[in-house]
Structure formats: C-alpha cells, structure tokens
Amino acid sequence: MLPPPPADRFVVFLSGAGLSAASGIRTFRDPGGLWEGFRAEELATPEAFARDPERVWRFYAWRLEVAAAAEPNSGHLALARLQAAWGPQRVRLVTQNVDGLLDRAGCDEVIEMHGSLLRWRCARGVGHGVVEIEAGQPPPRSCARCGDWMRPAVVWFGEVPIDLDRIGAWSTRCHSFIAVGTSGVVYPAAGYAALARRSGALAVEINPERTGGSFDRCIEQPAEVALPALVEAWL
C-alpha cells in the first residue's frame, strides 16, 4: 500500500477521463471512446468551431446532457471522503475532466484545468459574461448581448489550460502525485507527474492499462476500485 502523506505534507490527484468511465461517460482514446470516428481537430479546436459552429455546439450540448445525467462513482466519492477527512490543503485535486462530477461528489477547490461543460460563454471572448447551466437545462445557442454563438468554457487544443502556475507549484512541492485514469498524451497535463517525480515526490498512476509514463508505481486497477481501497487504507 502507498504511504500516506505526513500530516504537514500534501498529495495531488490529477484525474482524467478514466475516473468518470464508471459513471458512463466515455473516455476519449479507448476503443469506443469519444474520438473514435472523429479527429480531435474536427471538434475540439477553435478552428473547428469557426468552421462549423453548429456541429461543435451540438457535440458539446450532447456531452453536457450525458454529464448531467451521470452520477459520481465510487472513485469520485472516495476522493471527496479523503478531502473531507484531511482538508483541501492536504488533498489537492486537479482534473482534466469537464463533467463536474468531482464537484457533485462533494469535493472542494477542484482545479478544472480543461474548464467545464457546465459553463458557457460567448464565442467572441470575455466580457459578455459566463452562463452557469442549471441541472437538466440545455446550453444557450446565442449570446444575449451580441447574438453570436455561445461555446462551452472548455479548453480546446491550442488554448491555454487553467491555473497552470498553481498546478506547477503543487507538483514541485507535493509528497505524492497520483495520476488517475489519464492516458498522459495531452500536454501540459501529461508533464506534471514527471515534474513531481523530479522534485522528489512519489509518482503513482492508477489505470487498468499501464501508460508507460514516468511513475514509481502503477496500480493496475480501475479508479472506482483502487481509490476506495486507497482511501480506506489511509483513513
């Protein structure tokens, strides 16, 4: 079993799509994943949106519907339980997921580095406000201020992810860094485990399929199995 962080140190969990797989949300790159049959560039880039806003809008409206209908699974709930017991200073959460499930599981202060499907904004950029989507509601199609298309406040390829300074600082100072359910192919997220490891942290991955990234240990189990067991052992 992994050593818990001492009381004056902290652990960082960086999650990816595999964490939400057991909630029925498809990953991106597994067989049957979201990108199968699509090229990412056709949907998850500003250029794709400029080319065919209707198509990209519909893709994300559908993704929002799926996320809203999903429930947090035992992996999300285990992280919430650990954070409730030790506090957000000792259990720091970063996710690439845009589904809001960590939040709905009761987690605090989650860095959503690739944004969220639950917030939409005007395609023209900042300044026209952000719309928070109510449970079960469809996203708005057009901006109430200028009539241009609305887009999800997610981070597409070529856009800069959120809160990178804080994630970088956490990675260099943490006791342990645990990557959960991420293929490690998308940067800068994929670089933080190696940064943490070079900085002296224990780097661990939880993934039923070893990714070959820079880790000291791999727990080759699904997140919904490994996280409840880890949290039970630590508490």
For the CA atoms of 10, 219, 231, 97, what is the dihedral angle to 10 degrees? 70
For this structure, is 175 an active site residue? no
Task: Tell whether residue 139 is a contact of ligand BJW (CB under 6 A).
Answer: no
Query: Cβ neighbours of residue 85 under 8 Å, at least 6 residues apart?
Result: 235
Q: How far is the CB of 53 from ligand BJW (least distance, A)?
A: 15
Calculate the CA dihedral of residues 136, 17, 120, 115 and round it to 10 degrees: 140
185 binds ligand BJW (CB under 6 A): yes
Q: Please, which residue, 50 or 185, has the CB nearer to ligand BJW? A: 185
CA distance 176 to 219: 14
Which residue among 11, 12, 14, 22 contacts ligand BJW (CB under 6 A)? 22
The catalytically annotated residue of 76, 114, 128, 175 is: 114
Nearest 5°: phi and psi at 143?
A: -70, 130
Q: How far is the CB of 235 from ligand BJW (least distance, A)?
A: 21
Under rule CB under 6 A, residue 17 binds ligand BJW? yes
Report the 10 Å Cβ neighbour count for 171. 24
Interface residues with ligand BJW (CB under 6 A) are: 16-18, 21-22, 27-30, 33, 44, 96, 98, 114, 154-161, 164, 181-183, 185-188, 207-209, 211, 222-224
